[in-house]
Amino acid sequence: MVKVSVIIPAYNGDRYLAAAIDSILAQTYRDLEIIVVDDGSTDNTPQVAQQYGTAVHAVQYVSQSNQGVAASRNLGMAKARGDYIAFLDQDDVFLPHKLSSQVGMLEQDDNLGIVNSGWQITDEQGHIKAAVQPWQQIPDLTAANLIIWKPVFLGAMLFRRSWLERVSGFDISLEQTPDVDLVMRLAKLDCPAAWVEQTTVQYRQHEANASKNTLLQAQELNQITSRFFAQSSLTPAIKALEAKSRYQSLVWSAWRLQQTGYLEEMSHYLYGSQFYSQKCHTKTILSWLESFKNYSAEYGDKFDVVALNDAAEWQSLLKRCLV
């Protein structure tokens, strides 16, 4: 048995996969295993994974027909032997202290189910653009804060396996947001979570990122949030979080859509968000701009407010909201 299983879902990932695996082998924490789940790749992903051989800390390579990242992670969990589960995307890398810091917290508190952390945003070559430190805005990872703010980057988290089993892993019907859905379901069960106030992983930005599909990402985030609050089994306390949670999801999605040029869709999500805002229309619009500015800064980008204000879609949105 090992303490930590690190699962890497891979699909045509031969370009960066070796760097991801090497970053796990370079961990200061050594009681681990690595499981690469090949989701029907047609490139050299199998050769990259299998070159590590069968020595201690070697990569366990398993494959399946193309079923998506959620199914890959679930298969990895089925193969895993660890008490704790970490996930790393094929194009990201762990920083050397990642596992030792987070395992230490889980070992100190048997009730703790999730240890979260920050992450670095890098460019395609691995140069650091920004450091995301969510605990600055969300100091306590209560169930309410997980449901409202959804501070989820899977590579920055470490899970106690028993909690993942309680919610039966990831929803394989989701392509873009199975991680957010998983954490919201854990929060519903009041899974204890805490921060390691460190950046522990690098999130590589490049043109082939799966997260570039912002239309589907926004659609799924809206879907899972609606589905979550439609559950009849929610406590009154959780049900009371709906407006704040849905507002945050809609504004976040709008920012992602604006970043990728989908201004008409951005205006649709912002218009919907105002019905969950407790502010007057003018203050809600100002809060949209402030959120866009903050989200952009977090990811090392500059928010071009002038370009947005000049856009026909934005002007039309203002007219609709201020009539």
Q: How many CB atoms lie within 10 A of CB 33?
A: 21
Last residue of a domain, one of 146, 178, 208: 208
Q: pTM for the complete prediction?
A: 0.95
Last residue of a domain, one of 144, 174, 208: 208
Could you tell me if 149 and 64 lie in one domain?
Answer: yes
Could you tell me if 111 and 227 lie in one domain?
Answer: no
Could you tell me if 230 and 133 lie in one domain?
Answer: no
Could you tell me if 318 and 279 lie in one domain?
Answer: yes
How many distinct structural domains can be found in the chain?
2
- The predicted pLDDT at position 155 comes to 98
* pLDDT values of the chain reduced to their tens digit, one per residue, 323 residues: 689 999 999 999 999 999 999 999 999 999 999 999 999 999 999 999 999 976 556 789 999 999 999 999 999 999 999 999 999 999 999 999 999 999 999 999 999 999 999 999 999 999 999 999 999 999 999 999 999 999 999 999 999 999 999 999 999 999 999 999 999 999 999 999 999 999 999 999 987 776 679 999 999 999 999 999 999 999 999 999 999 999 999 999 999 999 999 999 999 999 999 999 999 999 999 999 999 999 999 888 899 999 999 999 999 999 999 97
Could you tell me if 90 and 114 lie in one domain?
Answer: yes
Could you tell me if 244 and 192 lie in one domain?
Answer: no
Could you tell me if 195 and 220 lie in one domain?
Answer: no
Query: What whole-number distance in Å separates Cα of residue 119 and Cα of residue 64?
Result: 30
Could you tell me if 46 and 139 lie in one domain?
Answer: yes
Could you tell me if 173 and 187 lie in one domain?
Answer: yes
Query: What whole-number distance in Å separates Cα of residue 294 and Cα of residue 183?
Result: 23
Could you tell me if 223 and 304 lie in one domain?
Answer: yes
Can you give the CATH number for the domain in which 46 is found?
Answer: 3.90.550.10
The domain of 288 spans: 213-322
Contacts (Cβ under 8 Å, ≥6 apart) of 200: 94, 95, 97, 98, 101, 102, 117, 118, 119, 156
Last residue of a domain, one of 177, 192, 208: 208
Could you tell me if 98 and 161 lie in one domain?
Answer: yes
- The predicted pLDDT at position 211 comes to 64
Could you tell me if 73 and 121 lie in one domain?
Answer: yes
